[in-house]
Structure formats: structure tokens, C-alpha cells
Amino acid sequence: MWMSSSATYACTPLTVALEDALAAGAAGAVLSGIPSTTVTVLRRESLLDGVTAAGSILLPSERRPAALVAAAVPVHLALSLGWAAAMSALLPRRATVPAAVAGGLAIAALDLELIGRAFPRIRALPQGRQWADHVAYGLAVGLVVRHRRLSRSAAGAP
């Protein structure tokens, strides 16, 4: 069925979760690197290490920094949006933010302790900073999802 450009789309759990995931994933993608970036800058270390490590997920045998940086962008976005989609659908209505932070820690365990061990550049990163980035990601996702849910509730939407 075609809808006019002034029509609104039905508010279904799936569309709500996808809209929440896009907003929360974008926020998480932008804000999740604050802890590691801050420490790296303060210590005057290379900012490229984390970026090239992310790029190595897509291009594991690549050595050129420019190629790894280019590969890092879709990897980071895909992971941020994908995890946000899962979290947006699974986060409870109450205690959304603490649950999202716990989700960020669970993702860190999977990303860093299981999957990350297969990638030497990921393994070589300072792990405390990476865990902090995952907590920041969970916090950002949780805050956005909570805000969007509260806004819908105030407007009378599900």
C-alpha cells in the first residue's frame, strides 16, 4: 500500500526498535571512543592504534594505515548499529540505563575476550581503555533509548 508523503507510518514495536537503534547506535558510535581517546591524547600516544585495530577486523592482513582507517569506518558503524539494534529490542523499560551499561560490559567480554583475541591489533590495545569505551557505548545507548521511550510515553505513543 502506498502512502502519501504527509502520511505517518504505523508505530509498531519493530519500527520503534529500529528507530531507537539508529538513534542509539549513532550516539554510541560517536561517544564510545571518548574514554580511550582521552587517555591516549593525555598520554600523547598514537590515536591510529585503535582505528587501525578496528580496520583489521575487516582487513586482517592489511598493513597500510590508510586502508585500515578506511575499513574501520564501516566496521565501527556496523558494530555500533548492530549492537544497538539488539539492545534497543532487549532493554527493559525500568532500569534501562543500568541494563544498557551491563549490556556494554557483556559486549566487551564478547568483543575483547572472545572475538578480539583472534585479532592481534585488538589484543595489543590497552584493554582497560577498551572496556571503558564499551561502558561509554552502553551508557550512550541506554540514555538515548530511555529518552526516546520517555518522549513516546509523554506523547501517548507506545
Query: Above pLDDT 90, what percent of the chain?
Result: 83
Enumerate residues 6+ apart whose C-beta is below 8 A from 35: 129, 132, 133, 135, 136
Q: What is the pLDDT of residues 47-93, one digit of tens each?
A: 999 999 999 999 999 999 999 999 999 999 999 999 999 999 999 99
- pTM across the whole model: 0.88
Mean local confidence (pLDDT), 133-145: 98
**Radius of gyration (Cα) for the chain, nearest Å?**
18
The DSSP secondary-structure symbol of 64 reads -
Which residue type is seen at 101?
V
Enumerate residues 6+ apart whose C-beta is below 8 A from 21: 81, 84, 85, 87, 88, 89
Instruction: Using alpha carbons, select from 131, 142, 132 the residue that is nearest to residue 98.
Output: 142
Phi, psi of 133 (to 5 degrees): -60, -40
Query: Above pLDDT 70, what percent of the chain?
Result: 90
User: Which pLDDT value is given to residue 2?
Assistant: 37
Mean local confidence (pLDDT), 92-110: 97
Mean local confidence (pLDDT), 9-17: 67
pLDDT tops 80 at residue 3: no
Q: How confident is the model at residue 154 (pLDDT cuts 50, 70, 90)?
A: confident
User: Which pLDDT value is given to residue 15?
Assistant: 74
Q: Report the C-alpha gap between 12 and 88 in whole angstroms.
A: 14
User: Which pLDDT value is given to residue 5?
Assistant: 46
User: Which pLDDT value is given to residue 1?
Assistant: 35
